[in-house]
Structure 1
Amino acid sequence: MENRKVYLDKHSNLLQLEEHMYPLVDVEKPNVFRNLFRYDEIPKIAFNDRIVPHSMPDEIWITDTTFRDGQQSRAPYSPEQIVKIYEYFHRLGGPKGKIRQCEFFLYSKKDRDAVYQCMEKGYEFPEITSWIRASKKDFELVKEIGMKETGILVSCSDYHIFYKLKMTRRECMEHYLSVVRECLETGVSPRCHLEDITRSDIYGFVIPFCLELMKLKEEYQIPVKVRVCDTMGYGVNYPGAVIPRSIPGIIYGIRVHAGVPSELIEFHGHNDFYKAVSNSSTAWLYGASGVNCSLFGIGERTGNTPLEAMVFEYAQLRGTLDNMDTAVITELAEYYEKEIGYTVPSRTPFVGRNFNVTRAGIHADGLLKNEEIYNVFDTDKFLNRPPLVAVSNTSGLAGIAHWINTYFHLPEGKQVDKNTEMVAMVKAWVDKEYEEGRMTVLTDEELLEVIEAARKRLGCELM
């Protein structure tokens, strides 16, 4: 105790006592946390009520894996599509580069062609990075293209170390460190992807490994990043939950006990248990500067943290968008639908066709009086998506009036309301449709035809 260093923590402004060193714990049998992860039972979330403090970094940002993890779960993008999406990311991230990096595969000629074309754009942000397995053969690809940084797969749970790699922890660590050292020898900054960290022995393998990485960082004077990969989505953000499932506990341990600075910590979440967004926000709150995302959450199995979600999480946590251009999100959704042939599920927040569409008549009435009542924020301002009302048997006069005003972009003074005769005529037709047994929402084309007939009958114009 007497020989442990006392230092001032720059975030809390409190004196801290240097923690004990954490040596590698080499074990003969794998620790697979069978008390938490019995395969024939639903995983358990246990608590020990050990709380770690918030430590939001001075600067936080988003990185993207659309062209890597996102591309593992769908048909490959063409080089032209990759370049176009990359241009969208550049615009979305704004002048401050809040979309900090994009990572790419390098294995096919098509992937490499896309990388070269994106490099030719000359953008500072998003920075172009790659991803490889921890093999010297893969590293040749990185050197050939001239990447400044590459991700390296360094699986860290005993599930992977013992069952997949067939190694001991010490053999595995030495193998990983040899690849990282080779990366550093040529001046390339490694980003170590700590795969399956939420089933790993945090203080028996992860922290000792990260301590060795920080030694290499000091030796070569080149940044060494760590990506905290919640590969199976087991992470939770509940205060007092035990590691390895506790995201606050993992981020705290890597930052404080392994000495990895916030700007070198990044979180990569999966959505198997619906927790990708909350875990990513939690990683920011407890000391990770970066969160790694995929556009629309497209990724392995249930997907990754949706990039568009973290844009709005950033704004909520920081009180500003820092000049991110959120209207680009809508352009991206339209591009995916029209050019790529991918339709975002209709109720997906911010991007789905129906994310700000209301069907209930009582809600439509409130929306007509004041859209703040039933719209999350000014979606027209931030996403070029004004709130809409779908017309059905529950829409009522107010819903039909709102649909007409919104669809035709009627200005003040020209807008209809539930007392307008045309609205009553349309409602009479709608009521008749459902009285005759209709079960579906009315289409825009049907409504336009009925409105046009009513307009002609009344001899009026809508504009």
Structure 2
Amino acid sequence: MQYYVSPFNKEAKLKFPKKITIYDTTLRDGEQTPDVCLSPYEKLEIAKKLDELRIHQIEAGFPIVSSQEREAVKTISNEGLNAQVISLARTKKEDIDAALSCDVDGVITFMGTSDIHLEHKMNLGREQALNVCMNSIEYAKDHGLFVAFSAEDATRTDLDFLKRIYKKAEEYGADRVHIADTVGAISPQGMDFLVKELKKSIKTDIGLHCHNDFGMALSNAISGLLAGGNVISTTVNGIGERAGNTSLEELVMALKIIYGVDLGFKIKYIQELSNLVEKYTKLKVHSNKPIVGRNIFRHESGIHVDAVIEEPLTYEPFLPKMVGQQRQLVLGKHSGCRAVKAKLDECGFEVTKSELCKIVEEVKKNREEGTYIDDKVFSEIIKTIRGPADP
């Protein structure tokens, strides 16, 4: 058995869409994290690893930004990946032309639709904005592109206007529309309401681009799926503007294990992908980050370690090898005899019961004095208790 979750999950009788598409925006929204700048080579390496995971779509970048960005997006587009390669474009002809020059399969064209965006950023009225958006959709479709129209700040947009602009986008040939929760300001219940309302007006696919300002990006994404959306935007390690986006690894594993929805991803590459993004972005993954954090499969507490040695799933919802992680038993203040004995066995040391008890006490004492118990320190403790003889 590789995982063991609550049997009550199945009692909820939830219904997910038959087909769910994940488009990953690590190379676009993820790179918009302050202080992050990826080279074309780094972008390509991440894209190839995403493709190895079998991601459905890769949002490779924002071509209008710079010549180097266009080089990166074009390189990814021509790499022969299985994933569909898309890029971001404002509702401007020059942005769409830049995307076309990169040989992408499609574009996400966007405009802020909330009154606060229209007034303070766009300086446009609703009718003007609607016309600009439709012109860009029409232009992109005329050039053979897959087109997703994203209403930026959709979750703070007037509902009637949002319905109208999405309906028009559908009529102009948009392949899907995106709800952008730009500042993470909607609740899961609000997302449920919004998606169901939109489903009354449009038939096209609905994508969900959720930000994590209140820690609810994952919950909002799942709520949107259950309400009838069928496309989710993610980033590796949950990076992105401010508090980041819906985490790719959290969404994939929650759907697979908690909800029983397997999207066919090669999840054994999750940790490799996380490490690669951490390396190139220089954004350190928090030790307690779900799925990929270094502490997720590390155990110190004696009570936990005793049980994990007997049956790992007592304190792990799934086995680490599923995502390319490894279990680690850590020695410290909370360690008991069984954990120390396991470490001794691993190192090839045989000790008496009396020596074991003394080693446990020394481990606790050293840790409480501020010393981390690595292999070198552990060996020194053993030598102190039983002498320097080789194992």
Q: What is the TM-score when the length of structure 1 is the normalising length?
A: 0.74
Question: 1:362 and 1:310 mapped to 2: Cα distance?
Answer: 30
Match of 1:212 among 158, 168, 188: 168
Conservation of the 8 A alpha-carbon contact between 1:337 and 1:344: yes
Partner of 1:248: 192
The reply to whether residue 346 of structure 1 matches residue 287 of structure 2 is yes
The reply to whether residue 429 of structure 1 matches residue 372 of structure 2 is no
Measure how far apart 1:340 and its partner are.
5.3
The reply to whether residue 162 of structure 1 matches residue 119 of structure 2 is yes
Match of 1:385 among 320, 325, 333: 325
Match of 1:438 among 365, 369, 375: 369
Partner of 1:400: 340
Counting only pairs closer than 5 Å after superposition, residues 362-373 of structure 1 correspond to structure 2 as: 362-373=303-314
The reply to whether residue 148 of structure 1 matches residue 105 of structure 2 is yes
Counterpart code for 1:446: V
SS of the aligned residue for 1:234 comes to coil
Conservation of the 8 A alpha-carbon contact between 2:74 and 2:103: no
In the TM superposition, what whole-angstrom CA distance separates every residue of 1:67-95 from its partner, at most 9, and x where no partner exists? 111001142111111111111111112xx
Higher percent of residues as helix = 2
Question: 2:111 and 2:211 mapped to 1: Cα distance?
Answer: 17
Conservation of the 8 A alpha-carbon contact between 1:65 and 1:294: yes
Counting only pairs closer than 5 Å after superposition, residues 78-93 of structure 1 correspond to structure 2 as: 78-93=39-54
Question: 2:384 and 2:266 mapped to 1: Cα distance?
Answer: 41
Q: What is the TM-score when the length of structure 2 is the normalising length?
A: 0.87
Match of 2:186 among 235, 239, 245: 235
**Which has the higher Rg, Structure 1 or Structure 2?**
1
Conservation of the 8 A alpha-carbon contact between 2:112 and 2:122: no
Match of 2:17 among 51, 57, 60: 57
SS of the aligned residue for 1:68 comes to helix
Q: 1:137 to 1:347 in 2, by over 3 A?
A: same
SS of the aligned residue for 2:101 comes to helix
Counterpart code for 1:82: K
Choose 183-192 or 339-348, whichever is displaced more: 339-348
SS of the aligned residue for 1:344 comes to coil
Conservation of the 8 A alpha-carbon contact between 2:46 and 2:277: no
Question: 2:280 and 2:380 mapped to 1: Cα distance?
Answer: 29
Conservation of the 8 A alpha-carbon contact between 1:227 and 1:265: yes
Q: 1:376 to 1:454 in 2, by over 3 A?
A: farther
Q: 1:269 to 1:136 in 2, by over 3 A?
A: same
Partner of 1:269: 210
Question: 1:327 and 1:157 mapped to 2: Cα distance?
Answer: 41
Measure how far apart 1:62 and its partner are.
1.4
Measure how far apart 1:151 and its partner are.
0.8
Counting only pairs closer than 5 Å after superposition, residues 218-229 of structure 1 correspond to structure 2 as: 223-229=174-180
Measure how far apart 1:394 and its partner are.
1.4
Choose 141-150 or 446-455, whichever is displaced more: 446-455
What are structure 2's unaligned runs of at least 5 residues? 1-12
SS of the aligned residue for 1:265 comes to strand
Q: 1:421 to 1:192 in 2, by over 3 A?
A: farther
Choose 298-307 or 393-402, whichever is displaced more: 393-402
